[in-house]
Amino acid sequence: MITEYTTQNKLNPDIWSNNQLKQNLRKSFLKIANHFYEFLEVDTPIIDIILIGSNANYNWTSYSDIDLHVVVNYLDIGNLHLVKNYLHAKKSVWNENYPLKYKGANIELYAQDSTTDLHASVGIYSLLHNKWINQPKFELINIDDSIIKKKSEPYEYEIDNLNLDDKHLNSKIKNILLRLRNLRQTGLETAGEYSIENLAYKHLRNSGHLLKLKKILQDSTYDQLSIKPINELKEVTRSLVMHVTKKKTLDDSGWRDIIQQTGGIEDSEGQWKHPGRCTLIPGNQITMQNVPHHVLGIDDLGTMKMMFPNQNYTYPGNKVFEIPVTPQWKTMIIQLINKIRNGSKYGN
């Protein structure tokens, strides 16, 4: 069920009282915004600090962020293109370092150019002047779920069926992201917040497809840039062969070395959150639902299984090391399996 399109009969009561921003929140939001401004390190004054987005409108839901925009003049800072990229980068670093929330809602900070034209339907509240710049009007909107689903489904299919072995993976992801940005922008410019395009974009965000797409791109880029010394990978292969053949069981320190040498990570969400990256699962129940590639799993007792997409697996041990069957790891996996099948020559 898609709920992002649904209009409420009042503004979010956690934030607003009688259509005015709650004063305690206004002070807190101003404090946060001013710290963000200092973090930006730009030599231009604040023109305004505004609250916009779904939480300044009647289409708010439990998924809606709290969007605080610090308005400045980009041209006062310097070259428009460089300034835009710089401020976007600072925003990303801020959100990573300060993942602030209010009652479960993410507080998203952004440096907005004073020349930006916002759609007439967007609610805009000035925190500096404590008043509406553009007060939203309640309007009952009724949009059929099937229309939104029809618009979002092709993107869902593309994202769910990305092939991590594809040498053009990164360019395909960037193409999807560009098309999605254009989709949303077109919708906002032509029909505003309630455009089918914008609602389809929000559905993809709420369903986790946007996060999945960005995570695949991040991990794919990480794998491409990572330098894995041949000797380290040989040592990983040796340690895992010894472990599976019961010649030398890996202890906690040994698993830590394996993670470090493979650039892996310990995370219960495994390939869901880190597709294409080696992961250590702190548990023995593994689901391969929506994982697009095979994964070789080895638990702490030495049990090894090749896991297939959309299947579920249980290991006798308490944790499972996952090696994705992708181009980066195929050679090591083949060497590992061959040495185990043909009898390891490694000593104790």
pLDDT in tens, 147-169: 888 889 999 999 988 887 787 88
SS3 of residue 213 by DSSP? helix
Q: How confident is the model at residue 140 (pLDDT cuts 50, 70, 90)?
A: low
Specify if 2 maps to a domain.
no
Domain containing 78 equals 16-134
The pLDDT of 139-154, averaged and rounded, is 80
Task: Name the pTM for this structure.
Answer: 0.57
Specify if 150 maps to a domain.
yes
Specify the number of domains making up the chain: 3
Note the pLDDT of residue 230: 58
Note the pLDDT of residue 221: 82
Note the pLDDT of residue 253: 93
184/119 same-domain check: no
Domain end residue (candidates: 134, 167, 200): 134
Domain end residue (candidates: 225, 245, 267): 225
Alpha carbon distance 273, 162 (integer Å): 15
39/66 same-domain check: yes
Residues 6+ apart with CB under 8 A from 161: 292
241/187 same-domain check: no
Antiparallel, parallel or unpaired: β 265-266 and 279-281 = parallel
Query: For all residues of the chain together, what is the average pLDDT?
Result: 88
- Between 3 and 25, whose confidence is greater? 25
Q: How confident is the model at residue 302 (pLDDT cuts 50, 70, 90)?
A: very high
Q: Read out DSSP for 44-106?
A: S---EEEEESGGGSTT--TT--EEEEEEE-HHHHS-HHHHHHHHHHHHHHHHHH---EETTEE
Residue 294 has pLDDT above 70, yes or no: yes
Residue 33 has pLDDT above 90, yes or no: yes
Specify if 257 maps to a domain.
yes
